[in-house]
Structure 1
Amino acid sequence: MNRLAQSALLFLLGATLLHAATTDLYLRYVKSGLRPLVLLAGAVLIATAAATLWYDHRRGKAAARGEAAVLPHEPRRGEAAVLPHEPRRGEAAVLPHEPRRGEAAVLPHEPRRGEAAVLPHEPRRGEAAVLPHEPRRGEAAAHPHEPRVSWLLTLPVLALILVAPPALGSYSAAHTGTALTKPFGFPDLPDGDPLRLGVADYAGRAVYDDGRSLRGRQLKITGFVTLDRTGTPYLVRMGLNCCAADAQPVKIALTGNVPPVLRPDTWLEVTGRYTPRRTRDPVNDGPIPYLEVTGSRPVATPHDPYDETWNT
């Protein structure tokens, strides 16, 4: 991959990051608070691509001017002119074909003892003839190539442009144990029913506060559906610390007026009441509270599918 291709890929990757950060696409990968960093990363990549092209353009123009200005045998700036066969300071003049002291005279093209005569520019046995300034095999003339590992830059570009995987869903939740942890405290809940709660908020109050603040309240909770191996339905929300790589599920088991047919990854808005019934996660044996469902309806996937408040 040459520098031009690298610059093009850097530009595409930067533009893709800017597109993701200016839409909801970035929320599939990182939490909303990291949006400024995604924008900054995209801008830096585009600036790097532009700087690389500008630098290569200047270097090419400088090389063209330098080749035109330097004639054969003309000394470079800061270098003394050396004429052919002229001795340097402190070095005795050696005429062509004149042997040094103690050395036998060797005529031009005369082979040494036991050595075959080699004419100028004649290739040795097993070696291809290489003319002056001719590029070697696999090397482009006057255009050095960068390492092939540079092609790995295409992977994130293709992943973001062509694939754009969805947010983590039922498969990840079914194969990962609940990440429910004890909250630092339980703030007072607002008055009025139905009370809208997050999955993690309900689960934390139901397990670690024994549902004291939930009793007698009509609750409304939104999440996506996942099923375990026995067919038990769960309402799940993936909690996020930083990015999708550290996402973990928090689960609520559903009982009561549950729809007879539930498809995994379907987002539901569930209305129900607290019940002291609990179960254990079959993956990590973590606690999972139940919710007694009184009604439900499918809803669209929220613009931010992750719960960023579950561990606060």
Structure 2
Amino acid sequence: MNKQAQAVILLLVGGAVLRASLTGQYLNYVKPGLQPYLVAAGAILVLAGAFTLWYELRGPKNAAAHTNAEERTNAEEHKGAEEHAHDDDGHGHAHGGPKVAWLLLAPVLGLLLFAPPALGSYAAGRSGSAVTARSEYAPLPAGDPLRLTMLDYASRAVFDKGASLGERRIRLTGFAMRGPQDTWLLARMMVSCCAADARPVKVALGGDLPDGLADQQWLDITGKYSGRELQDEVNGEAIPFIEVSEVTLIPVPQEQYES
């Protein structure tokens, strides 16, 4: 692979990173706070590729000012002889360039042609619920209904036994998925950095639910704390219930992960 091809690959990789960063596609893979770093990395790759390509296409225009044609010819012949000596394996066979470098185009094609979606019900069904305890639970702010994250509700329901939730009406947003005992769950993937460390938080849905629910369907629900719990079949963690009073089917949000 010559330097012109390397420059083109840099341009494509950088362009794909910039496109994903500026269109919101990056939210399928990393948390929102990493966008500035992705934009900077993509811009650096594009600039590096552009300058490399410009330098290679410029040609030896300035060489004639410092050397004559004969000296250039001798230098090129000497260089060619050295390269042949290095490339030859001792049996008269020359080795090609690092063709494996073309594999760098794989992530570019993935981002541009068939970018994978955000993790959803398939991944959540194969991972245990990631509810974590806190040392204390602050009083809830004003609001009726009050919007909470999935993790905040599940943590208060499991470890605080709903004491800090009381009779408040709570709003949660997530995707539907089938759970144990033929129940419907509301789930959402939590990320610390990127999709590689994503784990689901699951809340079981009680009360009257609309007909025709399907896996991966996004819902905005309103309900109250319920003392009932299920056991996650994957890791044995408790899955708290919420008694649903209102269900709204919503489009897939741009930011599908919570962090």
Same fold (TM over 0.5): yes
Residues in 2 aligned to 1:284 and 1:53: alpha-carbon distance in whole angstroms: 53
Q: Which runs of 5 or more structure 1 residues have no equivalent in the other structure? A: 77-135, 140-144
Paired letter, 1:165: P
Give the equivalent residue in structure 2 for 1:198.
149
Q: Which range moves more in the overlay, 46-55 or 251-260?
A: 46-55
Which position in structure 2 is the counterpart of 1:68?
Answer: 69
**1:276 partner amino acid:** G
- CA–CA separation in structure 2 for the residues paired with 1:64 and 1:26: 48
Secondary structure at the counterpart of residue 163 of structure 1: coil
Distance 2:177 2:246 in 1: 18
Q: Name the SS of the counterpart of 1:19 in structure 2.
A: helix
Distance in 2 (alpha carbons) for counterparts of 1:297 and 1:18: 34
- For residues 172 and 47 of structure 2, what CA distance do their matches in structure 1 show? 45
Give structure 1 regions of 4+ aligned residues with deviation exceeding 6 angstroms: 62-65, 136-139
Matched, 1:273 2:224: yes
Residues 1:148 and 1:64: Cα distance change in structure 2 (over 3 Å): farther
Identical-pair percentage: 45
Change (3 A) 1:9 1:231: farther
Maintained 8 Å contact 1:3/1:146: no
Shift of 1:260: 3.0
Alignment of 1:152-191 (within 5 A): 152-191=103-142
Per-residue deviation, residues 270-300 of structure 1 (Å, max 9, x unmatched): 1111111111100010111011111201011
In the other structure, the counterpart of 1:259 is 210
TM-score by length of 2: 0.85
Aligned residues: 242
- Asked if residue 41 in structure 1 is aligned to residue 41 in structure 2, the reply is yes
Q: Which runs of 5+ in 2 are unaligned?
A: 76-91
3-state secondary structure, aligned to 1:224? strand
Pairs within 5 Å for 1:275-290: 275-290=226-241
Q: How does 1:283-298 map to 2 (within 5 A)?
A: 283-298=234-249
Pick aligned residue for 1:245 from 176, 179, 196: 196
**Stretch deviating more after TM superposition (1-10 or 234-243):** 1-10
Output the amino acid matched with 1:284: N
1:4 match: 4
Q: Deviations over 1:78-136 (max 9, x none)?
A: xxxxxxxxxxxxxxxxxxxxxxxxxxxxxxxxxxxxxxxxxxxxxxxxxxxxxxxxxx9
Bigger helix fraction: 2
Q: Is the 8 A contact 1:235 1:254 kept in 2?
A: yes
Kindly provide the amino acid, as one letter, of the partner of residue 178 in structure 1: S
CA distance in 1, matches of 2:32, 2:247: 28
Residue 176 of structure 1 deviates from its aligned partner by 0.6
Greater Rg over alpha carbons, structure: 1
